[in-house]
Structure 1
Amino acid sequence: MRLISWNVNGLRACVNKGFLDYFKEADADVFCLQETKLQDGQIQLELGEEYSQYWNYAQKKGYSGTAVFTKRKPLSVRYGMEEDEEPEGRIITLEFENHYIVTVYTPNAKRDLSRLDYRMEWEDRFLAYLRKLDEVKPVIACGDLNVAHREIDLKNWRGNRGNSGFTDEERGKMTTLLAAGFTDTFRHLYPDREDAYTWWSNMPKVRERNVGWRIDYFIASSRLAPSIVDAGIDAHVLGSDHCPIYLEIADE
């Protein structure tokens, strides 16, 4: 099974920059998006009859939002962690026979850290949600988690210590998540790989020089680790300030 996750930072703009070409080339079984920045009816994607489309729109226009396109028909689909409690459209959960797939766009703490307290509370709820799912069947959670976990996960870690996305608090929540029975699939295969990033700022020459952060992840229940075939980053793919990431996992 091949899965793709991509924060497209505005799907309509990304479509104008080659999204559909990459989508067709990737030929994923499940393709997850974050930060679609759409409302219902604002786009019509012709992805082929084999794909079912699921969308979670934020109430605020032009903000947040997630989507999942899947060849495999899910047993059930859930939007948000609790019924009607996720106005920012940040989570979609698909249930399959042997596992769950969750796409998530984690709240940003903001440059001035004004949303850090909310982020911490949200992280606790999200971990509790994943653990509850994991009690039923294994989980694969993917998306923009808005944190570089380790120093190896961003280029200029010294200068960014304490900044949004690299605070001790945010990194600590990721450590807690992984300690709760989940695995960072990329680091499982490539624990020491450097210069592997998924997001770059829009400042001049930053992406060309690969001065980036790895803040997009596939996190899986640790008991799925033996089934991981590959995990990687398609850093050459443009169209957003993030690039797509992928996970290949053996079918049960």
Structure 2
Amino acid sequence: MRIISLNVNGVKAAAERGLFDWLRTQDADVICLQDIRVTAPELEQDPYWLDGYWQYCFEAETPSQGGVAIYTRVAPKAIIMGLGFESADRYGRFMQADFDKLSIGSLLLPSGRDGDADLNQKFKFMEDFANYLNKQRRKRREFIYCGSLYVAHLKLDVKNWRDCQNEPGFMAPERAWMDEIFGNMGYVDALREVTRESELYSWWPNSEQAENLNLGLRFDYQFLTPGLRRFVKQAKIPRNARFSQHAPVIIDYDWTLSI
């Protein structure tokens, strides 16, 4: 099973840069997109339609302010939209596809990089989502969350980590939140399960210098319940596949989707 996760920063612009032509060559079983910025009826039209996939969308109340989507080759047993709290559901920040013994979610956090109000919204979302994740661990099924989290967890996930410690995305409270998820809660960072390679970044500032010097951060993840740890086969973040400020996170699992 191959899962691709990508924050598109607006699916219209990403499509114009060739996203869907690229996706058709990737042999993905599930594709999770974040920050689509369109309505569900718009996403069902060309050029966003992918033959051979079931397609689902949870749009933001104001479509230009978020939204997530899931494409899957296997029809899910159920689709769940929203997390039940305002900071998530108003902006279409989460949806989940349920299969046999496995659920896959597409998740978008506030970036926190657009001023104090955005950062405060991010911290509130993180608190509410941590409570949600804690409850999910009690369920008798496995979960894969494909998330654009806008948080770099470790020093090796940031090019110049010393310079980023006071910036949203690598602040101490954000990293502590990640420590809790991957520590006490027991969730697994799929990429770090198979590689400790540095400079595997998924987001870069919009500047020529950032591109040339690879001044990136790893803001995008696939994280899992611990029962899936042994099923992670390989992971990559291809920097040359760029359709937004983010690069896609591609994980292959020794798992077959079924209903």
Q: CA RMSD in A?
A: 1.7
Report the equivalent of 1:95: 98
- TM-score by length of structure 2 reads 0.91
Q: Distance in 2 between matches of 1:232 and 1:40?
A: 29
Report the equivalent of 1:188: 193
Report the equivalent of 1:125: 128
1:232 counterpart = 2:251: no
Compare the two structures and name the one with the higher helix fraction.
Answer: 2
Gaps of 5+ in 1: none
Shift of 1:83: 8.0
Q: Distance in 2 between matches of 1:195 and 1:224?
A: 25
Name the amino acid aligned to 1:5: S
Name the amino acid aligned to 2:129: F
- TM-score by length of structure 1 reads 0.94
Report the equivalent of 1:19: 19
Q: Distance in 1 between matches of 2:13 and 2:29?
A: 24
Identity of aligned residues (%): 30
Gaps of 5+ in 2: none
Report the equivalent of 2:77: 75
Report the equivalent of 1:61: 63
CA deviations on 1:67-100 (whole Å, 9 max, x unpaired) are: 0000011111111112887110000111110211
Q: Distance in 2 between matches of 1:202 and 1:118?
A: 23
Q: Distance in 1 between matches of 2:67 and 2:168?
A: 21
Q: Which stretch of the first structure deviates more once superposed, 32-41 or 10-19? A: 32-41
> Contact 1:57–1:66 at 8 Å: present in 2 too?
yes
Q: Distance in 2 between matches of 1:208 and 1:173?
A: 31
Q: Which stretch of the first structure deviates more once superposed, 130-139 or 229-238? A: 130-139
Report the equivalent of 2:220: 216
Shift of 1:60: 1.7
Picking from 98, 114, 119, the partner of 2:117 is: 114
Q: Distance in 1 between matches of 2:187 and 2:193?
A: 11
Shift of 1:58: 0.6
